[in-house]
Amino acid sequence: MAEDNNQDNEKKSPIKLILMIVGGIVLLGAGLGIGILMSGGESSDPSTEISQIIEKKENPEASEKDTEAEVEEVAAECAEEEKDEEGNCPVGPKKIPKITPEEEIFATTYYEFPGNFTTNLKESKKFLQISLGVSTQYDEQVMANVDSHQLALRSEILTIMSTFSPADIAGREGKQKLADSLKEGINNTLVKVEGFGGVENVHFTSFVLQ
């Protein structure tokens, strides 16, 4: 009977050993699987990491290209309105648009004196005949004052014209000097009678020198 028991124990021992080995393998496999899942599905190999570091040191250009590719990938995700004129996304802090008020635009009012202004020029037998208009961006009261004081203004305009010689009004610069003098004379007259000028420009609608 003792011999039978020993034979049974000898038969059971290899089976136990096999079961223990299989169980160990299963546990080891399960541990590796859990480790891979926790690390994102990629196993970390020290020798591989060392090789990558050495490769970056030996080939810095490749590393820069990889960095540029990452930047381009991130930049591609920006919104359409954030892109610059060339269609590229900004790298770094985003610009905050500054809201600026729209430029205020004033309406221009015109007034044309009826008829012509004709007078002899200084130290000459020639005479100058012009048609004249004025403009302002102030309110309509300025043009109402011009219309109300036409008589005084016409006298001032003719007086100023007679102080110019043909040489004085020659060319574009000469005409501009005459216009500036007329504007000053008109405003001075309006200030005397109304307390305010307001005429900003003088325009020649006709200009004849004979």
- Number of domains forming the structure of the chain: 3
Q: Could you tell me if residue 203 is inside a domain?
A: yes
Alpha carbon distance 16, 39 (integer Å): 35
Alpha carbon distance 209, 166 (integer Å): 8
142, 67: one domain: no
Q: How confident is the model at residue 106 (pLDDT cuts 50, 70, 90)?
A: confident
What is the pLDDT at residue 27? 65
Task: Find the domain containing 77 and state its range.
Answer: 61-89
Q: Could you tell me if residue 44 is inside a domain?
A: no
83, 118: one domain: no
Q: What is the pTM of this model?
A: 0.52
Looking at the chain, the whole-number percentage of residues with pLDDT higher than 70 is 51
Cα end-to-end span (Å), the chain: 157
